[in-house]
């Protein structure tokens, strides 16, 4: 038999949502792990780019700080207009494709600069409609090596690292590391990234227009 006091404790414990008791510590630990993974990945990619053509004279952290600081201090801005989110039909059923949104209406803004080698750097933020028509924000850093066949026509390839959140992932921060490809004419460019995945997830091509407001 339970005493009145013990019964109240038992009743209260039954009414308490089982997840609520540990939700905050779990989220905090996951958040810290994701942050550390993202920072480590950024440091690796940036250091590989920065040290490719010159002797190692700075620490990796200094290179990351300098690169981000110089980009943040730029007075040149660009706008982003998402136009398409294509899902690879080889990895999704026809039923899934019919239920997905592939028109990711949204808007973004970023600061950009070109370094001494003519390569593109940017800090950006963007929000768009994801595959389920829910708003997905993203913010991060992008780098591209640029090739200039002519004065006005340019090609670029590089990467982006950042953080995003999604409703179907309970808006937990999700680290992003993906390739970037660009076809550019004067100040207008088409940029794309591919999201890798497995059967029924990822394996998509996300494309947007980029308009440099203060570019040459």
Q: Of 47, 130, 154, 204, which is the active-site residue?
A: 130
37 in Cβ contact with 175 (< 8 Å):
yes
Instruction: Note if 216 is an active site residue.
Output: no
Residue 87 a catalytic site member: yes
What's the angle, vertex CA 171, arms to CA 169 and CA 172, rounded to 5?
80
**Structure-token match 């990895």, residue found:** 91
The rounded distance, in Å, linking the Cα atoms of 206 and 192 is 6
Tell me the residue ranges of DSSP E strands in the chain.
76-87, 106-114, 120-129, 135-147, 153-164, 174-185, 188-195, 204-212
Query: Which residues, in sequence order, are CB contacts of 47 under 8 Å at separation 6+?
Result: 60, 63, 64
Of the residues 87, 121, 154, 204, only one is catalytic, namely 87
Q: If you write DSSP's letter for every residue of 128-179 in order, what string do you get?
A: EE-TTS-EEEEEEEEEEEEE-SSSSEEEEEEEEEEEE--GGGTT--EEEEEE
CA 59 to chain centroid: 25
- The token duo for 151 is 């004065």
Question: Is residue 62 annotated as a catalytic residue, yes or no?
Answer: no
Question: 211, 83 in Cβ contact below 8 A?
Answer: no
Residues 62, 69, 74, 131: which is the catalytic one? 131
143 close to 119: Cβ distance less than 8 angstroms: yes
The residues annotated as belonging to the active site are 87, 130-131
């Amino acid at each position: 038999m339970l005493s009145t006091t013990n019964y109240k404790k038992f009743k209260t414990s039954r009414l308490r949502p089982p997840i609520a008791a540990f939700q905050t510590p779990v989220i905090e630990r996951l958040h810290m792990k994701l942050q550390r993974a993202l920072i480590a990945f950024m440091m690796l990619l940036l250091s590989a780019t920065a040290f490719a053509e010159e002797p190692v004279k700075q620490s990796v952290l200094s290179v990351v700080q300098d690169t981000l600081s110089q980009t943040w201090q730029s007075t040149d801005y660009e706008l982003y207009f998402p136009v398409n989110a294509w899902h690879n039909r080889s990895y999704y059923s026809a039923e899934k494709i019919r239920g997905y949104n592939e028109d990711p209406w949204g808007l973004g803004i970023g600061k950009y600069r070109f370094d001494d080698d003519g390569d593109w750097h940017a800090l950006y933020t963007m929000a768009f409609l994801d595959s389920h028509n829910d708003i997905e924000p993203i913010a991060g850093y992008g780098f591209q090596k640029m090739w200039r066949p002519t004065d006005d026509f340019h090609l670029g390839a590089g990467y982006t690292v950042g953080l995003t959140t999604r409703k179907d992932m309970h808006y937990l921060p999700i680290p992003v590391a993906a390739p970037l490809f660009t076809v550019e004419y004067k100040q207008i460019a088409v940029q794309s990234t591919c999201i890798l995945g497995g059967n029924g997830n990822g394996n998509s091509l996300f494309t947007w227009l980029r308009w440099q407001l203060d570019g040459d």
